[in-house]
Structure 1
Amino acid sequence: MHYEEASGQKINYEKSCVSFSKNVSLTLQEELATVLNVVRVDKHDVYLGLPMEISYSKVEAFGFLKDKVQSKLQGWREKTLSAAGKEVLLKSVIQSIPTYIMSCFEIPKTLCCDIQQLMANFWWGSKGDVKKIHWMRWEKLCNPKIEGGMGFKDLHLFNLSLLAKQGWRLLKSSDSLVARFFKARYYPSSNFMNAETLPDMSYTWRSILAGREVLAKGTRFQIGKGDAVSIWEDPWLPRPYSFKPFSQPIDGTENWKVSDIIDHENHAWLDTIVAELFSASEADMVLKIPLSLRNHDDRLIWHYDRLGLFNVKSGYHVAHLFKTMDTHTSSSANNNSTINHLWGMIWRSCAPPKVRAFIWRLLQGILPTRVALSKRFPLPDISCCYCNHQVESDLHLFKHCDAVRWFWDSTPLTGKVCDTIGNNIQEWTFNVFTSLLIPQSELFLMCLWAIWSQRNNIIWNGDSFNPKFMATWTAKILEDYQAVHPLLPKNKKRTHAHWDPPPIGRLKINLDGAYRAATASGGIGVVVRNDVGQCLATLQRSLLFLSFAFHAEAEACRAALLIANAQGWDELLVETDCSILVAALTRPGEDYSDIGWIIGDCKDLITSFKSISIRHVYREANVVAHRLAHNASCSFVDELLFDEIPSIIEDALVEDFCTHNRGFGFMSPSDCT
């Protein structure tokens, strides 16, 4: 009664039950259940879809997941599905069944393997006791499509990635109730990343600690004050995979913190000391790390995300990468780089999904040709069904067969296909595919699929071979598919942009950053103008250590806002040709990206102005700032001028205002037309 009045929720006694400890006598249990007006049970099975007690066998506790998967697959096995259809069902339905449970508990590896075995049987077409050939191990099918796999999930790694998300929440939401509860119970004097395993841990906490293994592979410190990060022991360098320096510590610096190599007064690195402590490459890496103007504490970020935030997708990618790293390293010499390049073009092509799935099997060498089948069990006849003379290998079937050549001659691809050389089916397919224009390459893929489809019809249905009809039929299928799956329309040509003066009483700041990848350096440019086009201030500054182009853009924004703040300019319109910068400044919450401190400084400065608007403009409306930034990137300069115009931008200033006002106003000569 009191609960219902306080919460506004009414208890459903028919769906409620109660269980007791073994220390409570059966008679007392019945009496208490009667008082509560609910049914007494020995134990609760599930609550909100989760098992209530997991003290017994974990495989038994989560066995219902396997039953659900098996039930789904059993209903689908009676349907005729292409490989592309099976892929969609496995990824969108089957792999999502255990997701909710996996986000809370670690599922036993044996159960994950059992579910994956069911998925593999469905993928290859096995039914009950009738098992078809599994042409490739499931581990390879779990590789990304760009690496030759099918992109299925390794369920155990996916499970750990989901649990790692829970650990990330404990790190970033340390004030939440659940985070404070776990801290008080399991790591009162430590932190989540250093919490020790205890013998009496709950299975929930044990599961979250299992996900911590994924977090440990991709988290590193973002340097704030640097006083909580050890130079030599903690992960803080923006370099995978250890994030720790390889340089050996100099005597006496073993216990140094990162704060010992920072000039806190000027918010800059002590470059001389950095050069002495680290190798040249590591010193360069350290000096590129941006520092905040505010004395923030050091914080953990996720290295493998552009925004510095952990997500299950990138966590799974990292877990899969570390698992397969040794395998890739040992077999890298045998990998065909041309095939790796081909995968992206195949999966992006505008051909039907079933055709792309077929091409994947063809290039992987797992097409069940008669020669391939004869390697697994004896066949009475391995001759080609088209010519009945040569053995049916993949290269013969699609290229060398005389009958198939008639088909190729009936298509617009005729000589481009048969005359192309290739020692194996992968090399030949790649050579042909890359030599054709996009529409022709898509037709080529369709023709390969048509040859195989007709081959099956000849063997199993007794069809005849008509190359001209087959060529017409193939082109028509592709045409019909592309008619209902058109490519995205190209962007319409936009009108030419130009610089506009700000509203009366406001100032406009244009800013830009320039980046030179060859030297990892650049420059920034800032120009401030009023509503009549008068240039009030300019800044051009060289930057010797930059990580990427966006770093320069953010530095330019911070410098521009600092100038405005120091001058007491309260009403501003800020323009940049970097749309990513505008998105970062308007995105709510903290920024954990590599330049998060700079973005944070900018957001903090923005709050100090009476009125400020930040918007994106095209490059031609930002010419003056762009020229200043480019000039600063080419030569060492650090120049801030007020009421004085650098000669390098005089013509650009005139052109900007002439374009708008046709010669009226400061810096706009009367003879401007």
Structure 2
Amino acid sequence: MGKYLGLPETFGRCKKDIFTGMVDKIRQRAHSWTTRFLSGAGKHVMLQSVLTALPTFSMTSFKIPISLCKRIQSILTRFWWDSSPDVHKIAWVAWNIMAQPKYLGGLGFKNFVDYNDSLLAKLGWRIMHNPDSLLTKVLKGKYFPDCSFLESSVKTGASHGWTSVMAGKAVLEKGLGYLVGNGENIKVWSDPWLSPSKPETPIGPPTLANQNLLVADLLHSQSNEWDLEKIRLHLPLYEEKIRLLIPSSRKQWDRQVWLPDPSGLYSAKSGYKKIAEEKLIVQQDQFDWKKMVWKLQVPPKIQHFLWRVLHNAIPVGSLLAIRGIQSALNCKRCGELESIQHLFSSCPFAVQFWSKVPLVTPTVDPASLIVFSDWYSAQVYRTALPPLGVVSSPLVPWLLWNLWTARNKLVFEGKAFHAEDIISKAVAEARVWEDAILGKKKEQKKGPQVTTEKGSHRSFTINDPPPPPPILRLCSRLLLFSVTEEAWKPTDK
């Protein structure tokens, strides 16, 4: 609690040491992993589950400086794109794009400034709902003795802890609302009470007579139902919205809830989502990332590969030239300038490749599509013909992946593969993946398997007793072994 009371010199040095140590710990952890053998999906898991979680403890108590958030972001960016700490590679996609939700083309990484604010909002939520706690009493006595927490503000000379609490309060104000009980604590013109889904207050200005109007004044004193005459007198434009609200018949106290979450309770996840939604700019003709990438029945490494291709984040000649690299820009097969569209669709080798793949004819001619995302959308769900044996998973992502790996073999190792060989390899990998997925689903339907003494297998049922722990089975077998006369033979020394 002392960190909120303001200890200028001691706390300032302690805070600096905490922040510096946090950055060093994140950098040390990122450099300790060998990412060379991790796929994009593997890096994604490590970054989300470990590196992003390291500063969480400090962010729940302090408002981290923006410069420090950028340093953390830089470490994570280098971890994502580099294969080792000593080799820096091109960062093809900006962090603010990768920090967007997956359905908008990002990877769901955290924006650390917003993430910090969403965590600090939990402090404000506790202050609001735990007025008898020691921390709330101390903070109220020092910073808002004559008003409520939501009416408080940052004062001159306030400690860094209180400034952090105020940053979280700004997040709470974005989603706080009231559930009408007896209406005695809700101010009609200033409190958000008109909607149970989003904060909404009536638009004024109020008159001199009703400027201090409470919601309780719009309710019948006996039944606690809406008084339509008073509503039509003071708020005639909001009659329909008010009648949709159902106040408590038992005249319970008004409840202040977090509207973005159905439970009414604040969480850092819902707070971060609320902040992110306000910053999103959704385009009308947006690419359907969920359907075209993240919902495909393919391995996560191929999903991340498709994400990079659709973001122009693979090292082909035209994209390298934009970044000032002027070597090996032409296609190794035909000599033209290599681009993503050329590599996967318009190159003579690619045209021959797709003509030999037994797929159902697309409704739109892919050759007429100039933008690669449109070409991909027309191709990705083309069904494989029966002889291939690929039914549940789409084959096109496997073909694109193997075209890319064959191109890399040709560029870096000088190994050229025929179109038939690439198709055969893609079909074989798709079959193995499909068999593994179908087998896993069958095992989940059957239930867990148990091996009996004779080596046979059977499935558990609801009425079967749970198997004994391994240590008990081991002890019972040792006991059986010890009492067997043939097995027990003392040695002569």
TM-score bracket for the superposition, by shorter chain length: 0.7 to 0.9
In 2: Cα distance, 1:279 partner to 1:477 partner: 66
Change (3 A) 1:248 1:194: closer
The equivalent residue for 2:295 is 348
1:431 Cα shift?
A: 2.6
In 2: Cα distance, 1:441 partner to 1:417 partner: 20
Question: 1:244-285: CA deviations, max 9, x gaps?
Answer: 2236546633321122222242332233543554475x4322
Question: Aligned pair 1:285/2:231, yes or no?
Answer: no
Question: 1:417-451: CA deviations, max 9, x gaps?
Answer: 99334230111212333565995762112212221
Which stretch has the larger CA shift, 269-278 or 204-213?
269-278
In 2: Cα distance, 1:53 partner to 1:319 partner: 34
The equivalent residue for 2:431 is 479
The equivalent residue for 2:162 is 205
* 8 Å Cα contact 1:238-1:303 kept in structure 2: no
In 2: Cα distance, 1:411 partner to 1:56 partner: 66
What is the one-letter code of the residue matched to 1:393? S
Change (3 A) 1:152 1:439: farther
Match of 2:308 among 357, 361, 367: 361
Question: 1:603-637: CA deviations, max 9, x gaps?
Answer: xxxxxxxxxxxxxxxxxxxxxxxxxxxxxxxxxxx
The equivalent residue for 1:413 is 359
* 8 Å Cα contact 2:121-2:169 kept in structure 1: yes
1:305 Cα shift?
A: 0.2
Match of 2:285 among 317, 337, 341: 337
The equivalent residue for 2:452 is none
Match of 1:179 among 125, 136, 158: 136
* 8 Å Cα contact 2:383-2:395 kept in structure 1: no
In 1: Cα distance, 2:181 partner to 2:22 partner: 45
| Partner secondary structure for residue 93 of structure 1 | helix
The equivalent residue for 1:235 is 192
The equivalent residue for 1:384 is 331
What is the one-letter code of the residue matched to 2:430? L
1:489 Cα shift?
A: 7.1
Change (3 A) 1:435 1:306: farther
Question: Which has the greater radius of gyration?
Answer: 1
Question: 1:55-95: CA deviations, max 9, x gaps?
Answer: 23844441001111111111224632211111111101101
Within-5 A mapping of 1:317-328: 317-322=273-278, 324-325=279-280, 328=281
Within-5 A mapping of 1:364-443: 364-385=311-332, 387-413=333-359, 415-416=361-362, 419-420=365-366, 421-433=368-380, 439=391, 442-443=394-395
Change (3 A) 1:279 1:269: same
What is the one-letter code of the residue matched to 1:196? S
Change (3 A) 1:199 1:365: same
1:297 Cα shift?
A: 2.1
In 2: Cα distance, 1:273 partner to 1:263 partner: 10
Change (3 A) 1:439 1:166: farther
What stretches of structure 1 of length at least 5 have no aligned partner?
1-45, 47-51, 493-673
In 2: Cα distance, 1:317 partner to 1:273 partner: 38
Change (3 A) 1:53 1:461: farther
What is the one-letter code of the residue matched to 1:301? V
1:239 Cα shift?
A: 7.0
Within-5 A mapping of 1:137-152: 137-152=94-109
1:130 Cα shift?
A: 4.7
| Partner secondary structure for residue 36 of structure 2 | coil
In 2: Cα distance, 1:264 partner to 1:66 partner: 59
More strand by share: 1
Match of 2:253 among 294, 297, 313: 297
1:416 Cα shift?
A: 3.0
* 8 Å Cα contact 2:199-2:259 kept in structure 1: no
In 2: Cα distance, 1:370 partner to 1:276 partner: 71
| Partner secondary structure for residue 463 of structure 1 | coil
Question: Aligned pair 1:85/2:57, yes or no?
Answer: no
What is the one-letter code of the residue matched to 1:54? F
Which stretch has the larger CA shift, 57-66 or 429-438?
429-438
Within-5 A mapping of 1:537-576: none
* 8 Å Cα contact 2:26-2:54 kept in structure 1: yes
In 2: Cα distance, 1:371 partner to 1:220 partner: 52
Question: 1:202-248: CA deviations, max 9, x gaps?
Answer: 43333222211111111112221212222121222227765222365
TM-score normalised to the size of structure 1? Answer: 0.59
In 1: Cα distance, 2:329 partner to 2:27 partner: 37
Change (3 A) 1:388 1:239: farther
Change (3 A) 1:156 1:451: same
1:289 Cα shift?
A: 1.5
Q: Percent identity?
A: 29
In 1: Cα distance, 2:14 partner to 2:415 partner: 56
1:129 Cα shift?
A: 6.7
1:356 Cα shift?
A: 0.3
In 1: Cα distance, 2:232 partner to 2:434 partner: 59
| Partner secondary structure for residue 178 of structure 2 | strand
In 2: Cα distance, 1:456 partner to 1:417 partner: 31
Which stretch has the larger CA shift, 124-133 or 85-94?
124-133
* 8 Å Cα contact 1:250-1:277 kept in structure 2: no
What is the one-letter code of the residue matched to 2:67? T
What is the one-letter code of the residue matched to 2:434? Q
Change (3 A) 1:58 1:240: farther
Match of 1:316 among 256, 260, 272: 272
In 1: Cα distance, 2:325 partner to 2:363 partner: 32
* 8 Å Cα contact 1:167-1:208 kept in structure 2: yes
The equivalent residue for 1:444 is 396
The equivalent residue for 1:457 is 409
Aligned pair count? 431
What is the one-letter code of the residue matched to 1:302? W
| Partner secondary structure for residue 193 of structure 1 | coil
Change (3 A) 1:132 1:418: farther
The equivalent residue for 1:194 is 151
Supply the RMSD in Å over aligned alpha carbons.
3.0
Change (3 A) 1:277 1:360: farther
In 2: Cα distance, 1:278 partner to 1:153 partner: 42
* 8 Å Cα contact 2:178-2:196 kept in structure 1: no
The equivalent residue for 2:456 is none
What stretches of structure 2 of length at least 5 have no aligned partner?
4-8, 385-389, 446-493
1:106 Cα shift?
A: 1.9
The equivalent residue for 2:477 is none
In 1: Cα distance, 2:341 partner to 2:323 partner: 19
